[in-house]
Chains A and B, each alone.
Chain A
Amino acid sequence: METIELQQNKQGFRVRGAGQALYRYGAVITILVVIAFFSIANDHFFTYANLSDILKSISIVTFLALGVTFSLVVDGFDVSVGSTTSLAVIAAASALVIHRQELFVAVLVPLSCGAAVGLLNAFLAVKLRLPDLLATLAVMYVVNGIQQTYSKGYSIYEGMPATVGHQTGKFIPSFKWIGQGEWFGIPMPVLLMVLFVALSHLFLEYTTYGRRMYMVGGNPEAANLFGIPVERYRVFAYVVSGLLASVGGIVLASRIGTGQVSAGAPLLMDSVAAAYIGYALFGEKRPSVLGTLLGSILIGVLLNGLTMMNVPYFAQDIVKGGILILALTFSFLRKDSARMKS
């Protein structure tokens, strides 16, 4: 590492010890500072119960944010993840309550829905070559509409009136365990989040497939001229994104124990923000799983801390927006972009 840095110095790289470190670990430092601040300001903040609460609260957003990250890696952008989560919630609830299915089906149906939405996104953005943001925006509306049409705008829960269908089953304990259970005192959603984060990180950073996804996103033409099937990788990214969003939906349905309509909608913006904060992380303009996780933690910590300090919830969006602006400024104001272009 030393030799590398020396040589980069010689070549006129802007390596200036402290400045570089600030860029690289800016977001990590910010998180630590924020945690330290809240710990001092509020006695109840730095307790196991509260930290576990924070992790629980961000777990679902993190699934969606991982999906967004996968789409960003191949230079796409999936904003349909919120709707996909809503659809998964309704699908799981419907399978359990209306169709009286067991765990296996209650998990499989929402996953299939997620994969289907991913394929639809891929068809529009990859095969028809619509701009990614617009294609997934359209799909966001369509999927949200499907989910509302199916449920006729009513939530699906035990003891509901028979507007959508007749209740024949219920939220079985094994399904509820996904979102409410614990394992050695660690909440299941947090465990699942850690598991999926670890798998995604391993896949993207340590396998050739993940590496190639970055290559596809970085320069599709060069990737194609290296024999990498660019379209296939992009389709794959959208399907993974849909699947991750539906995992988020399963956990959400299990945690609240009902099939809320449009339950995923408010998660979209947080997940996009988390992914973009992660994009800025480590001073590189590069989407990454760890960055996304830290982005999502930062948002979670802030919201939790602010709530404890009695900042009204309706003012919290201002803080979220501010953090996002800060993160983006950090990454886009870096001077190296000019050097890389020549």
Chain B
Amino acid sequence: MTLALAGIHHGFGNHPVLHGVDFTVRRGEVHALLGMNGAGKSTLLHLAAGVYVPLRGTVLIDGQPCIFRSPGEAAARGIVFMAQEVDKGLVPQLPVHENLTAALLRREGRIWFEKRGNRERARELLREYGLEVEENRPAGTLSLYEKQMLSIIRAAAGHAKYLLLDEPTASFDRKEAEKFAAMVERLKAQGIGIVLISHRLHEVQRMADLVSVLRDGRTVLHSIAKETDIPQLVAAMSGEERGIGRRAGSSAGDNPVNFSVHGLRRSRQFPELSLSVRKSEIVVVFGHLGSGKTWLARSLFGAAKPSYRARIDGVEYTIASTRQAARRGIVLVPEERGKQGIWKREDIRDHLSLGFRGFILKRRETAYSERIIKAFDIRPASPGYKVGALSGGNQQKVAIAKWATGTPKVAIFDEPMKGIDAAAKETIFRKIEEWAASGVSVLYMTAEPDDALRIADRILVLSRNRFTAEFTAAEATPARLFEAAEEEARLVGND
């Protein structure tokens, strides 16, 4: 009664992701899979679920090798994968009960759809698994938690044998996380094997039976969850001995505060946030997926309601729109580069001259572009090249360089190193440091402790839309960051 992956090698293009990974989950057991972003966790789950076929190695069910050519084939064998974006599996316009039973009905080969009976059946299932949702609501109106649970119930009711969950708890608050844990217990009792990816280490310790840690595509730790403490896990994940490059030394020292914000809050139920950044200071906001760092980045850039008041260079402004933010010298490099940071069909020149005013002289524009391309080491160095055809790292350089026309005072980077190769990464880090040295206040949002320690003068830890800790660069370690990123759950648990 096992699902096993044996000797898995996989990669994309010239970029190897997994180097001979073995992984097994038994039915009725929770096996947590940990690792930094890019360690290969999601790829491993995709391989088990038939999204990709491994280049080398086999997937075995009860010792029998099998090849899945599509997620459908894997699902037919009882393996259900749930991606981070649960929405994709649900039809938003259809009510909960139809979403819940669609697969069941197909499996049973029903032709007639009997609405009242179906509603009754759905209500039964929801009660059985303890999810309080009105079964007539369109699935699109559910909260993320409810969608997640609905998807799990649907899988369980559809005779799933193995559930592969990719960071299911990222957006849950404490109560939701509790209920989720109860659900996991229930599924275990039912004999379902669960693979769980999570960054919340306390949660992993409580729920998992086994834990495996991946680093750079290899299994570096495999042990019983209860017998492994958190520092051990963090050490395995970040490979402490590797030695993280840190900044040569901050120049921010006692510079005056250049950017400060008070009373920013996501909604009524969350406390107000305040933060201030000195001139030339690089402040990292460390937080996991769902901690609110993207919300914070967007809010500071005026892209999320409500508006807020900020003090920039000693002058108080209200920032109510992205236009006002840009005018006051705030600069944003958004999280999703392809969708939010660049125009794939336009060329490099068009990006770099976006900040020009008035008439555009082609000659001046090209000369300027060539200068910036050199300064940011964008390759290939041709202004007429379509940005969509660049590599990820070079796209990001363009996304940052498009701000170079103005004189930024505050620069916000939201997870800028996603999917970027090491060389480009170092170039971008150096550009950020150059900006800081020239007097810009930098806010850098990330979930990567390595990146955080590399670039920070100071680190603020964000968890569920509030700051839970603050470290100087010297005090911070990956273990402390992880610890603090889960802080809030325990704080609330105590009161």
8 Å CB interface, A211-257 against B: 211-212, 214-215, 218-219, 221-222, 224-229
Do A4 and B323 touch across chains, with their CB atoms under 8 A apart? no
Min Cβ gap A215→B in Å is 6
Q: Which chain A residue lies CB-closest to B322?
A: A227
Q: Which chain B residue lies CB-closest to A228?
A: B323
| A11 contacts B by Cβ under 8 Å | yes
Q: Which chain B residue lies CB-closest to A286?
A: B345
Using an 8 Å CB-CB cutoff, how does the interface string of B125-156 with A read, 1 for contact, 0 for none? 00000000000000000000000000000000
Do A7 and B343 touch across chains, with their CB atoms under 8 A apart? no
Do B360 and A340 touch across chains, with their CB atoms under 8 A apart? no
Do B345 and A208 touch across chains, with their CB atoms under 8 A apart? no
| B340 contacts A by Cβ under 8 Å | yes
8 Å CB interface, B357-404 against A: 357-360, 380, 382-386, 388-389, 402
Residues of A within 8 A of B301 (CB): 225
Do A3 and B389 touch across chains, with their CB atoms under 8 A apart? no
| A168 contacts B by Cβ under 8 Å | no
Do B358 and A222 touch across chains, with their CB atoms under 8 A apart? no
Residues of A within 8 A of B323 (CB): 227-229
| B186 contacts A by Cβ under 8 Å | no
Do B332 and A11 touch across chains, with their CB atoms under 8 A apart? no
Do B358 and A13 touch across chains, with their CB atoms under 8 A apart? no
| B350 contacts A by Cβ under 8 Å | yes
Interface of chain B, main secondary structure: loop
Do B385 and A340 touch across chains, with their CB atoms under 8 A apart? no
Interface size bucket, B side?
Answer: 35 or more
8 Å CB interface, B149-207 against A: none
Q: Which chain A residue lies CB-closest to B330?
A: A227
Do B345 and A211 touch across chains, with their CB atoms under 8 A apart? no
Residues of B within 8 A of A226 (CB): 322, 326, 354, 402
Min Cβ gap B217→A in Å is 23
Min Cβ gap B448→A in Å is 22
Min Cβ gap A280→B in Å is 15
Q: Which of B322, B360, B380 contacts A225 (CB 8 A)?
A: B322
Given A221-B340, A228-B323 in contact, is the A340-B359 Cβ separation under 8 Å?
Answer: no
Please, how many angstroms separate the alpha-carbon atoms of A203 and B323 in the complex? Answer: 22
Min Cβ gap B351→A in Å is 9
Min Cβ gap B183→A in Å is 35
| A183 contacts B by Cβ under 8 Å | no
Residues of A within 8 A of B116 (CB): none
Please, how many angstroms separate the alpha-carbon atoms of A227 and B341 in the complex? Answer: 12
Most chain A CB neighbours (cut-off 10 Å) among B324, B327, B339, B340: B340
8 Å CB interface, A1-17 against B: 1, 3-4, 7-8, 11, 13
Residues of A within 8 A of B344 (CB): 219, 340-341
Do A224 and B303 touch across chains, with their CB atoms under 8 A apart? yes
Please, how many angstroms separate the alpha-carbon atoms of A4 and B385 in the complex? Answer: 7
Given A208-B360, A215-B343, A225-B301 in contact, is the A8-B322 Cβ separation under 8 Å?
Answer: no
Given A207-B359, A226-B402 in contact, is the A340-B334 Cβ separation under 8 Å?
Answer: no
Q: Which chain A residue lies CB-closest to B325?
A: A227
Given A7-B380, A211-B350 in contact, is the A222-B389 Cβ separation under 8 Å?
Answer: no
Most chain A CB neighbours (cut-off 10 Å) among B301, B357, B382: B382
Do B385 and A211 touch across chains, with their CB atoms under 8 A apart? no
Residues of B within 8 A of A341 (CB): 344
Residues of B within 8 A of A207 (CB): 358-360
Residues of A within 8 A of B383 (CB): 4
| B5 contacts A by Cβ under 8 Å | no
Residues of A within 8 A of B385 (CB): 4, 7-8
Residues of B within 8 A of A340 (CB): 344-345, 386, 388-389
Residues of B within 8 A of A1 (CB): 384
| B356 contacts A by Cβ under 8 Å | yes
Q: Which of B322, B345, B354, B389 contacts A212 (CB 8 A)?
A: B354
Residues of B within 8 A of A4 (CB): 382-385
Do B358 and A208 touch across chains, with their CB atoms under 8 A apart? yes
| A206 contacts B by Cβ under 8 Å | yes
| A129 contacts B by Cβ under 8 Å | no
Residues of B within 8 A of A224 (CB): 303, 322
Given A227-B325, A339-B388 in contact, is the A218-B345 Cβ separation under 8 Å?
Answer: yes
Do A227 and B326 touch across chains, with their CB atoms under 8 A apart? yes
Residues of B within 8 A of A228 (CB): 322-323
Q: Which chain B residue lies CB-closest to A230?
A: B322
Using an 8 Å CB-CB cutoff, how does the interface string of B22-53 with A read, 1 for contact, 0 for none? 00000000000000000000000000000000
| B82 contacts A by Cβ under 8 Å | no
| B468 contacts A by Cβ under 8 Å | no
Residues of A within 8 A of B325 (CB): 227
| B346 contacts A by Cβ under 8 Å | yes
Do B380 and A221 touch across chains, with their CB atoms under 8 A apart? no
Do B341 and A222 touch across chains, with their CB atoms under 8 A apart? yes
Residues of A within 8 A of B340 (CB): 221-222, 225
Min Cβ gap B298→A in Å is 8
Residues of A within 8 A of B357 (CB): 208
Given A208-B356, A211-B354, A215-B354 in contact, is the A227-B327 Cβ separation under 8 Å?
Answer: yes
| B321 contacts A by Cβ under 8 Å | yes
Do A11 and B380 touch across chains, with their CB atoms under 8 A apart? yes
| B456 contacts A by Cβ under 8 Å | no
Residues of A within 8 A of B386 (CB): 340
Q: Which chain A residue lies CB-closest to B301?
A: A225
Q: Which chain A residue lies CB-closest to B297?
A: A225
| B342 contacts A by Cβ under 8 Å | yes
Do A206 and B360 touch across chains, with their CB atoms under 8 A apart? yes
Residues of B within 8 A of A218 (CB): 343, 345-346
Min Cβ gap B109→A in Å is 37
Do A222 and B388 touch across chains, with their CB atoms under 8 A apart? no
Residues of B within 8 A of A8 (CB): 382, 385
Do B343 and A221 touch across chains, with their CB atoms under 8 A apart? no
Q: Which chain B residue lies CB-closest to A212?
A: B354
Using an 8 Å CB-CB cutoff, how does the interface string of A173-191 with B read, 1 for contact, 0 for none? 0000000000000000000
Do A211 and B360 touch across chains, with their CB atoms under 8 A apart? yes
Residues of B within 8 A of A219 (CB): 339, 342-344
Residues of A within 8 A of B360 (CB): 206-208, 211
Residues of A within 8 A of B353 (CB): 208, 211
Please, how many angstroms separate the alpha-carbon atoms of A221 and B327 in the complex? Answer: 18
Residues of B within 8 A of A211 (CB): 350, 353-354, 356, 360
Min Cβ gap B324→A in Å is 8
Please, how many angstroms separate the alpha-carbon atoms of A211 and B385 in the complex? Answer: 17
Min Cβ gap B202→A in Å is 35
Residues of A within 8 A of B334 (CB): 222, 225
Most chain B CB neighbours (cut-off 10 Å) among A11, A208, A226: A226
Min Cβ gap A203→B in Å is 10
25 contacts between A and B (CB under 8 A): A1-B384, A3-B382, A4-B385, A206-B360, A207-B359, A208-B356, A208-B358, A214-B346, A215-B343, A215-B350, A218-B346, A221-B340, A222-B334, A222-B339, A224-B322, A225-B334, A226-B322, A226-B354, A226-B402, A227-B325, A229-B323, A340-B344, A340-B345, A340-B386, A340-B389
- Given pairs A8-B385, A215-B346, A226-B402, 20 additional interface contacts (CB within 8 A): A1-B384, A7-B385, A11-B389, A206-B360, A207-B358, A207-B359, A208-B360, A211-B354, A211-B360, A215-B343, A215-B354, A218-B343, A219-B339, A222-B342, A224-B303, A225-B322, A225-B341, A227-B325, A285-B345, A340-B344
